[in-house]
A and B are shown apart, each in its own frame.
Chain A
Amino acid sequence: MSDAVAQQTEQQEPEIDLSIADAVIDKYIDIPGNLMPVLQGVQDEYGYIPHVVADHIAERLNVYPSQIYGVLTFYAQFHLKPRGRFIIRVCVGTACHVSGAPRIVETFFDKLGIGHAETTPDLRYTFEKVACLGACGMAPLAMVNDDTFGKMTVQKVDEIIAEYNQRPMK
């Protein structure tokens, strides 16, 4: 290892329990082409793919860490930073756009203090604009995790945030 790299500071990540990742890896270890299910399973457990876990997966599956990173950045489904407990998705597809989605998006931005693909510091919310959620009849549409909210209005934004502020984090 070069000194230049040795001197690089370790990524600031909270203490990660690798045994959770090991349990997922053990499940798929003997299956050819196991990288995707392992990454998906690990992300389900941690909510994202921490750097140390990616390195650990590389070591266990004997693939290059860079290759894992290539896969993680190729697919939009993988996340490299901690995500919120509640993922708020607002549709900005054509139908939602014409029925006022931009205003809904702006309101969420104002209320949460975060922008697209960002997470609140308390890890409660992650906000994402998405192209189409496939429920154009209910435009404009928002989703929080698996809950769907159709015919969105600015008031509804307040109600949603109030409701999910009450929900437990675990």
Chain B
Amino acid sequence: MVNLTIDDKQVTAPKTATIYEAAKLNGINIPILCHDSKLKPFGACRMCLVEVEQMKGRQIPACTTPVTEGMIIRTSTPDIVKARKMVLELLLLNHPIDCPVCDKGGDCDLQNLTYEYQVSANRFTDEKFQHEIDYNNPLIERDMNRCVLCGKCARICDEVVSFGALTFIDRGIETKIGCEFEGALNCEFCGSCVSVCPVGSLLARPFKFKARFWALTKQKSVCGYCGTGCNLTLGVQDNKVLTTIYDAEQGFHKGLLCARGRFGYQFINNDKRLTKPMVRKDGALREASWDEALQFVAGRLKGGNVAALSTARLTNEEFVLFKDLMKLAGSASYDHSAGYAHSALTKGLSRSFGVAASTATILDIQKSDLLLVIKTDAYETHPVVGFEINQAVKNKGVKLSILSDKRGKLGKLPGAKTLVHAPGTEIALLNAITKVILDEKLTAGTAASVAGFAELERALSDFTPEAVAGQTGIDAASIVQFARDYASAEKALIIFPTGLAYPGHNADLASAAANLAILTGKLGTEGSGVLCMAEKNNSQGAVDMGFYPANGGKDAGQILEDCASGSVKTLFVAGENPLVSYPDRSKVSAALDKVDCLIVSDLFLSETAAMADVVLPACSFAEKEGTFTSVDRRVQYFKPAIKKVGLSKSDFEIFSVLINLLGGQAPASPAAAFADIAASAPGYAGMSYAKLGEEGAFAPVDVKPALVAPAVVRPTVEQGKLALLVGSVLYHCGTLSQYGEGPMYVCPEGYVEISRADAAAHKVSEGDLLTVTSSTGSTQLKARISPRLPAGVVFAPYHFEAAQVNTIWSGAAVTWVTVGK
């Protein structure tokens, strides 16, 4: 810490702080346009000029000048105020004064500073800019006439998002911000540039002319898409969520969001939302009263032979109630996420660590020395975690090793090492890496005493790098080097995504990853461990609440089989859309057709809901209260932002009524339900809504390591066919984002990505309609030629109903397909 004086006030600040940061820490406000806490100092706007006595009264920028011991700083002398006024006058020279129609009005830094410094006239005259406004994409409007050249958009796109869509173009007085070859913005559409823009140069188009900023109610919430657990501020007016508002200090991610979080909120007030319950009569779904619908459902649940499938998007409180409801209905058969998407946690990490949770948190990413990412899809499934990885590698010099079946954005980070292996051979590869660590005695001192050590050594005897090289397509030397890199790093973190589209990321992969961490002792310390990133916003909560089969209960696959065979008579599906998102569509469809009574609670009349006998309109996260648990077990409480749409009810209310109808006693409120959770769920002890506050709290993970030999299934190889990998696409999460306009603007339909070599071999051009055929069926998908895929591999995202990818995908990690025009 250093001591300094700011405006005659004695203050202290960290040695690494700049004057601007030191002032901010001590509650002294210095005006600035080009600063964001996530970005490196830039010194572009000259608004933060201050005087430092030791520098003979010269005016220097506070944001780029580090503090030194004994500095005497004045932030608002008459000269400084005069200089700032002049800066504002110069900025306002070219800036169009179109505040009445600018959506940034009320939230514009330039407007606010103009007001604060009372710049009511301008001594200078100049022409306004005449740049063409970029309306070429549906999400981000670029009006460079309003730009003040602070560079924040270009810097955040480089330093944090690592996409680099925007840059300074031309030189001197001609300088402007633009894209490559003056083209349209073509990027990840995370909107980070929009969020940091201090003026109205970059605007969210879905929010254009929707409301004035000051008329919005700002309600904090937690994002309802993936498991990262990002915090949102929703802008609400007239009971509608109209936008997401940037708050640079909100959440661990400091306001960063991805395309889904920032632009995908429209599903909340989508016109397609279900507003009334529906019951099937004479073969058609007809509107009914809640009373009638719930009475009918309760009657069916009393009838026995019940099973339940749930989405991983419910709140923790709802999961507990759903479980209680199934108990009252006399069933132990309930599951979520197709039964396999949670197996990495529930079967894998629970046997390796003694607890079905990750040992590391997202905060560890930037504190690590080496990140081992399994599958580059980690960026697509959890983009904000991807931002953390970007920042760790680019700003903190963290090393990055990637094992993946295709190249991805993470592999472009400086110094990233990517091993592109044959599809479906991740576990063999991890075993080979583990074997190198054992053979070269790179293990931590205590490794040999961990349970299962001897068995693991025996089980891995065949996994020499040379033996594995053949099936993975990676040379032995690279595998050895990879192992040495991991073992020699002081702190190392293993990250892998799981989800419906990643059946290969199963219990054995989780155990293989855990073995590495246990053997090398990279566990339980800051910046080390294993981070298993489950797909949905409350996947970890679903596991923590125990919403998966135990005590003889059936898993999702068996439940669907039982529906098909008739032994399950009533299936209650809460928010899940198995017809689109589960593999093997024909099997799912037959099961849902066959089951006597299908009850679906959902926000929308999804493809699954359309088959139901009873449809209950549920409400979104923005209309209810509860808690979500993120992938790193951060439990976060959120309140409703708007009143419930139509007559919809939260699943909590639906389950409560049903529990009472079945003779049970439901908790009076989500808070009461959470008190039960705090009393019973491991790690949640002592938590309450009041204690969670805005930050949330981590449920601690008590690790009891055990080494487990992972089973390796060698993928079959079919000559002459292509390996289809199913996965997630950056703009979508599950099937919910289909109802968010933003994600649908940029990625409206399914596609198949094909390598350049295969495209040439099959004479495929960009956009061709290809018929993709596997042993289970065929579907038509548009071709996208991509440099990231190795030859012989194709990739298709699973989210889209129309694409019907699950007709050709039966749930195997690798599906062999043929493509033809």
**Interfacial residues, chain A to chain B (CB-CB below 8 A):** 1-6, 8, 11, 51, 54-55, 59, 62-70, 73-74, 80
Contacts and interface: CB of A to CB of B under 8 A. Distances in A.
B663 interface: no
Contact of A51 (B158, B181, B186): B181
Interface string B781-814: 0001001000000000000000000000000000
B454 interface: no
A66 B138 contact: no
Interface stretch (B168-176, B216-224, B350-358): B168-176
A77 to B, nearest CB: 12
Contacts, number: 70
Contacts of B167: 64, 66-67, 69-70
23 contacts: A1-B186, A4-B137, A4-B138, A4-B184, A5-B183, A5-B184, A8-B136, A8-B183, A11-B181, A54-B180, A63-B164, A66-B167, A66-B179, A67-B167, A69-B169, A69-B178, A69-B179, A69-B181, A70-B168, A70-B169, A73-B169, A73-B170, A74-B171
Contacts of A51: 181
Contacts of A11: 181
Contacts of A1: 186, 784
A59 B179 CA distance: 16
A52 to B, nearest CB: 10
B163 A64 contact: yes
A66 B184 contact: no
B746 interface: yes
**Majority DSSP secondary structure for residues of A touching B:** helix
B299 interface: no
B748 interface: yes
Contact of B186 (A2, A64, A80): A2
Interface in B131-174: 136-138, 154, 158, 163-171
Interface string B191-203: 0000000000000
B502 interface: no
Given A54-B181, A66-B165, 17 more contacts: A2-B137, A5-B136, A6-B766, A8-B136, A59-B787, A63-B164, A64-B158, A64-B163, A66-B164, A66-B167, A66-B178, A67-B164, A68-B180, A69-B167, A69-B169, A73-B170, A80-B181
B743 to A, nearest CB: 11
Interface of B: 136-138, 154, 158, 163-171, 178-181, 183-184, 186, 189, 412, 745-748, 766-767, 784, 787
Contacts of B186: 1-2, 4-5
B820 to A, nearest CB: 23
Contacts of A66: 154, 164-167, 178-180
Contacts of A74: 168, 170-171
| Across the A-B interface, the 8 shortest Cβ-Cβ residue pairs | A64-B164, A5-B186, A70-B167, A66-B167, A65-B180, A66-B180, A69-B180, A2-B746
A91 to B, nearest CB: 22
A63 B181 CA distance: 15
Nearest to A51: B181
Scoring B136, B178, B180, B767 by chain A CB atoms within 10 A of each residue's CB, the highest score goes to: B180
Contacts of A63: 164
Nearest to B138: A4
Nearest to B413: A62
A76 to B, nearest CB: 8
Contacts of B784: 1
Contacts of A62: 412
Contacts of B767: 6
Contacts of B747: 2
A4 B136 contact: yes
A53 to B, nearest CB: 12
A131 to B, nearest CB: 15
Contacts of B170: 73-74
Scoring A66, A67, A73, A74 by chain B CB atoms within 10 A of each residue's CB, the highest score goes to: A66
A13 to B, nearest CB: 11
A134 to B, nearest CB: 22
A158 B164 CA distance: 49
A76 B663 CA distance: 81
B180 A73 contact: no
Scoring A5, A8, A64 by chain B CB atoms within 10 A of each residue's CB, the highest score goes to: A64
A36 to B, nearest CB: 15
A121 B45 CA distance: 44
Scoring A8, A68, A73 by chain B CB atoms within 10 A of each residue's CB, the highest score goes to: A73
A115 to B, nearest CB: 19
B745 A2 contact: yes
A82 to B, nearest CB: 15
Contacts of A59: 787
Contact of A73 (B137, B171, B189, B412): B171
A107 to B, nearest CB: 29
Contact of A8 (B165, B180, B184, B745): B184
A62 B501 CA distance: 29
Scoring A2, A55, A74, A80 by chain B CB atoms within 10 A of each residue's CB, the highest score goes to: A2
A3 B180 contact: no
B800 to A, nearest CB: 14
A1 B782 CA distance: 13
Contacts of B165: 64, 66
A92 B163 CA distance: 43
Contacts of A67: 164, 167
Contacts of B766: 6
Contacts of A69: 167, 169, 178-181
A84 B166 CA distance: 31
Contacts of A6: 766-767
A134 B387 CA distance: 51
A10 to B, nearest CB: 10
B189 A2 contact: yes
Nearest to B170: A73
B164 A5 contact: no
Contacts of A64: 158, 163-165, 167, 180
B413 to A, nearest CB: 9
Nearest to A75: B171
Nearest to A11: B181
A142 B710 CA distance: 77
Contacts of B171: 73-74
Given A64-B167, A66-B166, A5 B180 contact: no
Contacts of B178: 66, 69
B380 to A, nearest CB: 14
A120 to B, nearest CB: 24
Contacts of A70: 167-169
Contacts of B136: 4-5, 8
Nearest to B416: A62
Contacts of B189: 2
A5 B169 contact: no
Nearest to A10: B766
A34 to B, nearest CB: 14
Contacts of A65: 164, 180-181
B253 to A, nearest CB: 23
Contacts of B412: 62
Contacts of B154: 66
A51 B180 CA distance: 9
A1 B184 CA distance: 11
A73 to B, nearest CB: 5
Contacts of B169: 69-70, 73
B140 to A, nearest CB: 10
Contacts of A80: 181
A63 B189 CA distance: 19
A157 B412 CA distance: 53
Nearest to B747: A2
A66 B158 CA distance: 10
B176 to A, nearest CB: 10
Nearest to A80: B181
Nearest to B746: A2
A74 B180 CA distance: 13
B160 to A, nearest CB: 14
Nearest to B731: A2
